């Protein structure tokens, strides 16, 4: 039985909707939302609201920012984390790592998440952006984010039983 699944994809690839479809709609699922609301950004709020609206009523939402590893480690039932890239953005913000300082903290947080995924007994589905298929970012911060997320995705993939890549809404099984 698949216990840990990593769903990767680019922007608007359908990765979140596909990941949601991997878990039972008629049972309780813990949906771990990593995106922080910003009252000054109505477009971001609309995206969050659209995600909420399509979730089954039996699912409960938990908002997690820095404590994601603790939430995953303590999970008892089916758990969906959406998404790792947004979580990493928050970790990099908190560490002040956009210019390269604070990367040790970012990597420790990432390692704690990887170990939590490996240790949990729960069924876990993780959603993350695949950032390695595009152009090399023009800015240092963009390159740092791409590199850190790429390394974190690779480490999570090593701990997952199943790894999927979505392209144009079509899932491809990598493992």
Handedness of CA 2, 133, 98, 38 (dihedral sign): negative
In sequence order, which residues have a C-beta less than 8 Å from that of residue 139 and are 6 or more positions away?
A: none
Per the structure block, which two tokens stand in for 120? 């949990």
138 assigned to active site: no
Instruction: Indicate the angle between helix axes 84-95 and 103-119, nearest 10 degrees.
Output: 140
- CA 158, 111, 30: angle at the middle one, nearest 5? 80
Q: Are 23 and 78 in contact (CB under 8 A)?
A: yes
Which of 18, 51, 57, 138 does the annotation list as catalytic? 51
Catalytic residues: 51
């Amino acid at each position: 039985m698949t216990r840990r699944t990593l769903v990767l994809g680019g922007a608007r690839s359908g990765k979140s909707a596909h990941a949601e479809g991997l878990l039972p709609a008629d049972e309780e699922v813990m949906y771990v939302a990593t995106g922080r609301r910003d009252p000054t950004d109505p477009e971001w709020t609309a995206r969050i609201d659209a995600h909420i609206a399509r979730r089954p009523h039996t699912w409960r939402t938990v908002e997690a920012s820095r404590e994601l590893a603790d939430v995953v480690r303590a999970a008892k039932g089916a758990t969906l984390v959406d998404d790792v890239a947004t979580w990493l953005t928050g970790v990099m913000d908190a560490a002040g790592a956009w210019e390269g300082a604070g990367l040790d903290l970012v990597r420790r947080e990432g390692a704690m998440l990887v170990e939590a995924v490996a240790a949990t007994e729960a069924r876990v589905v993780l959603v993350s952006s695949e950032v390695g298929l595009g152009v090399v970012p023009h800015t240092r911060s963009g390159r740092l984010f791409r590199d850190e997320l790429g390394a974190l995705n690779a480490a999570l993939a090593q701990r997952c039983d199943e790894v999927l890549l979505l392209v144009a809404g079509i899932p491809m099984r990598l493992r």
